[in-house]
Amino acid sequence: MNIAEFEIGSQAYVIAEIGFNHEGKLDLAIEMIEAAAAAGANAVKFQTYHANQLVLDSVAHFDVIRHGELDRDAHVTLANRARELGVHFLSTPYDTGSVDMLDELGSPAFKIASMDLTNLPLLRHVASKGKPVIVSTGMATDGEINEALEALAEGGCHDVVLLHCISKYPTDPKDVHLRSMTWMAEEFGTHVGWSDHVLGNDVVLGAIALGACVIEKHFTTDKSLPGPDHAMSQDPEELASMVRGIRVIEAALGSACVDESRPDRAESRLYRRGLFASGPIAKGTVITDAMVSCVRPEAQLAPWQRALVVGEVAQVDIEKNQELNLDLVGQGSPS
């Protein structure tokens, strides 16, 4: 599965979730794209909607939502700036018209918010565009996730990443249950990732260790800005630190190598023990346990082969600290 040129699973795909932290201000949105790109994000993600199609105008946070709206021209400007900086421009569409616009603008994938996992008509419309889909699973049951995947498949989409997500802001680590992510991979046979609402980077790194191939994290350039998401979002320094940590964990995971290919195999010569003469042994001497030292470095005879030496007869004069081998000892009486 690829998102544009990025092969999902080759390394973690890091999404800086700007959402509506820009508060509808184009200059601030551009600043956030630039900061996220500099911090090492693979993609920046916005939200594409019409407030009156998303929430009742009588709801308390309607004005906050409305102020975060971006028109088509703003989307074009932001997509172009992201492209110039080498990061993907993604957005979460909340209606079919927004899906169509993002598709026309060349968005390489779609992101479905947890709230719309059960919006099956929207999922089918997204799927019809023939692009990969990233789906957050906050609040979802296994049955709802399965229905969402079926709707995407009906629309022709099989390139799906499921993001384990807890829709609490912020999320307490004890509520995360990261093993749900690996369960989803086994249960649904999809790529999986983690949409993180926990303060700090600890849980993100745990998700990487458990196999997350996509990480989504809220992002802002200034935590003190007004708005509901800034305080729980990462600033540029924190995002850069998270990306560095992710890459370290990925490098450390490597691959399984408990055979001759393991990178420390050559160190066995230095760190393992072998059998050596603890002092001079004259030819013809019956070798006792006290005459054999089991010390570093590794030798022809390993510690477990001590019984092959003790009680045997030295066939030649053996010097102190000489490495023992079966050619130096033999059965029977001295010659």
Tens digits of per-residue pLDDT, 44-61?
999 999 999 999 999 988
pLDDT of residue 333: 46
Q: Which amino acid does the sequence have at 106?
A: G
Peptide bond just before 170 cis, omega within 30 deg:
yes
Class of domain 9-253 (CATH, top level): alpha beta
> Which residues fall within 8 angstroms of residue 71, CB to CB, at 6 or more apart?
none
pLDDT of residue 335: 44
Tens digits of per-residue pLDDT, 115-143?
999 999 999 999 999 999 999 999 999 99
Ranges assigned E (strand) in the chain: 2-3, 6-7, 13-19, 43-48, 88-93, 110-112, 133-136, 160-165, 191-196, 214-218, 274-277, 292-295, 313-314, 329-330
Residue in 34, 46, 64, 61 with CA at minimum distance from that of residue 226:
64
Residue 331 predicted with pLDDT over 80: no
Q: What is the CATH number of domain 265-330?
A: 3.90.1210.10
Cβ–Cβ < 8 Å for 116, 110: no
Q: Which amino acid does the sequence have at 31?
A: E
Q: Return the number of other C-beta atoms located less than 10 Å from residue 46's C-beta.
A: 28
Domain ranges of the chain: 9-253, 265-330
pLDDT of residue 332: 43
Phi and psi at residue 175, in whole multiples of 5°?
Answer: -95, 0
Cβ–Cβ < 8 Å for 71, 25: no
> Does the fold of domain 265-330 match that of domain 9-253?
no
Tens digits of per-residue pLDDT, 76-117?
999 999 999 999 999 999 999 999 999 999 999 999 999 999
Q: What is the chain's mean pLDDT, rounded? A: 95
Residue at token pair 């997350």: 212
pLDDT of residue 261: 87
Residue 297 predicted with pLDDT over 90: yes
Tens digits of per-residue pLDDT, 166-210?
999 999 999 999 999 999 999 999 999 999 999 999 999 999 999
Residue in 49, 175, 64, 59 with CA at minimum distance from that of residue 119:
49
For range 152-178, the mean pLDDT: 97
Tens digits of per-residue pLDDT, 19-29?
988 988 999 99
